[in-house]
Amino acid sequence: MKITFIDSGVLVAAARGVGELSETALSILEDSGREFASSEFIKLEVLPKAIYNKQTEEAEFYEAFFSAVTYWANDLEKVMQDSYSIACQYGLAAMDALHMAAALSVGAEEFVTTEKSTKPMFRVSDIRVISLFD
């Protein structure tokens, strides 16, 4: 089983169910050869807006995903420290660095995102970064 960290954009694409991007996102989420990893940062990016905007089905989709997550990045102090180093080393934006550090902290083998492969997160060499656009 592959440990896969799912970026927030992948969850949004899957939940909103529009077009090829959504189908690709759903196929990854439905892959029985993967175990999923996540963090409170991902939760914070997707759930509050769906709840606030009363998008009940979308919020339920996210909750179902989070309940199926096997690996949680729980050592937030270490994630914060590591994210600073990662941001400095690879030129990542704050949230991207937090997500990468969270993924690495749980031993994720791959990081699936909706970002294009030209983004700085693809410079991180300790994990395979996969774009839904590739």
Residues 30-53 pLDDT 10s: 999 999 999 999 999 999 999 999
Of 69, 66, 32, 30, the C-alpha closest to 47 is: 66
**For the chain, where are the E strands, in sequence order?**
2-6, 34-38, 71-72, 110-113, 128-131
Q: Per-residue confidence at 59, pLDDT binned at 50, 70, 90?
A: very high
Q: What is the pTM of this model?
A: 0.95
Residue 18, pLDDT score = 74
Cβ-count burial 83-106 (b if 16+ within 10 Å, e if not): beebbeebebeebbbbbbbbbbbb
Domains and CATH numbers, the chain: 2-131 (3.40.50.1010)
Q: What is the per-residue pLDDT for 72?
A: 98
CB-count burial class (<10 Å; 0-12, 13-18, 19+) for 32: exposed
Q: Tell me, what's the pLDDT at 1?
A: 93
The model's confidence at residue 62, banded by pLDDT at 50, 70 and 90, is very high
Q: What is the pLDDT of residues 76-103, one digit of tens each?
A: 999 999 999 999 999 999 999 999 999 9
Model confidence at 17, in pLDDT bands (50, 70, 90)?
confident
Q: What percent of the chain is modeled with pLDDT above 90?
A: 95
Q: Indicate whether 6 pLDDT > 80.
A: yes
**For residue 109, pLDDT beyond 90:** yes
